[in-house]
Chain A
Amino acid sequence: MIPAPNRPPDRFRTLTAVVASVAPLLLVVIVVILFQQAGPAVSKFGLGFLTSIDWNPVTQSFGALPAIFGTVTTSFMALVIAVPVGVAVAVVLAEQGQQGIRALLGTGIELLAAIPSVVYGIWALYVLAPWSYQNIEIPISEHFGFINYLTHPAVRGLFNAALVLAVMILPTLTAVSRDVIRAVPRGLRENAIALGATWWETTWRVILPAARPGIFGAVILALGRALGETIAVTMVIGNRYEIPPTLFSPAYTLASVIANEFTEATGTLYPAALIELGLVLILVTLTVNLFAMLLVRSAQSRIAV
């Protein structure tokens, strides 16, 4: 028998594999360093940090609940506003109208996803928030003022922060949903039409159910964006550290507390508490993103079969 030729080891593979370790390593190191830096706050407050509503640098008493509340409610309100619109736009972009116009609109929407968040922020501060205060918040509080949660309109508050978040996540949501809807096999649509279904019946009962796992993944991805968004929200949320009494009241999010207070935080406990807010934020978004990725992947493999 002739022995196999003696190959030299593939050093290039080893080298690139080592360089490639930077990405996973970074992820671990970021979480570990933040955890270590948050140490004083973690050991002082323990799990009570997550449920306390205090935030007082003078008495050195810190709790994350109002910020967690603000982050979660603004993000979910943004989803409620953006998801129906985004999916409708995705359906139109995936199959309606002329090829040229569709491609143009599609490129336009993808470009809008690239606009920096500080630009959305300055627009929200000077255009969107005053407009929504006059034309949405005041009329709602006048007509539905008997519900306590719909009183006290304010230019900077929870609702307007959710509104600008909705505008910001719309491009991502639309672009990903459009790709998912496009990936639904043509045969499904043709079969439905051949059976006599109208356009709406085909879309609502055949196309969207087939694309549902992927669209859900797109929604979760958008949620991850909304949770971590900092600057635009900081400019319009009003920066008040409390669980807001009404839908329109000033509030705070995890990211905006850090953005506003970190450079001024003195002592050891105050910065550590802010870093612990960052740790909470990063752990939540990592979980949400991981979940979204698994969903989109499994949806794609299912459609491929």
Chain B
Amino acid sequence: MTPTTTAVAVGSAVRATGLRKSYGDHLVLDGIDLDVAEGTVFALLGPNGAGKTTAVQILSTLIGADDGEVSVAGHDLAREPDAVRVAIAVTGQFSAVDKLLTGEENLRLMADLHHLPLTEGRRRAADLLERFDIVDAARKPAMTYSGGMQRRLDLAMGLMGDPRLIFLDEPTTGLDPRSRRGMWQIIRDLVAEGVTIFLTTQYLEEADQLADRVALLDHGRVVAEGTPGELKRQVPSGHVSLRFADGHQLDRAARALDGSRPDGEALTLQVPGDGGVRALRALLDQLDRVAVEVEDLSIHTPDLDDVFLALTGQPDTVEVISR
């Protein structure tokens, strides 16, 4: 089987133009364009229902698109799905492991389906069990595994076929913070080996931590795209938030500080600024001069949350992280 390769720009692991998909009357993907360079981490970021999973299902050949030109791993998605399948691995939001089989049996099942020789398959299964820290539970049915362990097994199963491109659909949703950090490290290690990662997430911090480029997906449209740094520059700079004991203090502080925005209900004052030590000292000195007591102070540096809020206007769908 030597599939004829379609000509695409070298260096693109995923290239989509005008990708469109609807379920009946419900438009899920409204003509999105994506370009993921080989060997990078690309994050598709968006709230629940934005169309992230649908995008992954289309790009991984599970479902068909209604419209759009898509090439994955250098092959046209519609014409050469099997050539695409050879190059990819998919780890879904719900673990795609055989829960009745043990971890080891799941890995050997993958080895058999990749037609690896028996000894080679067993060796690689043992290596992956070791690498993903599943050795102790290797002989236990996967249904007894914790969420984090099932997710690791799921990813390990995908690696059996030496994929060049890995789709991770919300790889850390539902995991505890420690498992999440473990998964991040695994992803970084994969990237170091030259694998391309296509990640979806609803956690802004995750995209910020892992991705080279981020696309913000909202209601089936890409509303912003760029490096995490570029996206952060699209929103106003950060601010310092001051809280006071009463409205009187708040008023005096608001008069003393130019450009500040008081909130009479919460007794807080937002002062624009990046929260650097020098600026902070100047701010406190100024308050001292007008003899205002600050009850509480917090610094808010711009993060992807701000980008998200600024671009989608959906404050209820994201967790705002105050720092």
Q: Does B associate with A?
A: no
Residues of chain A having any CB pair with chain B under 8 Å: none
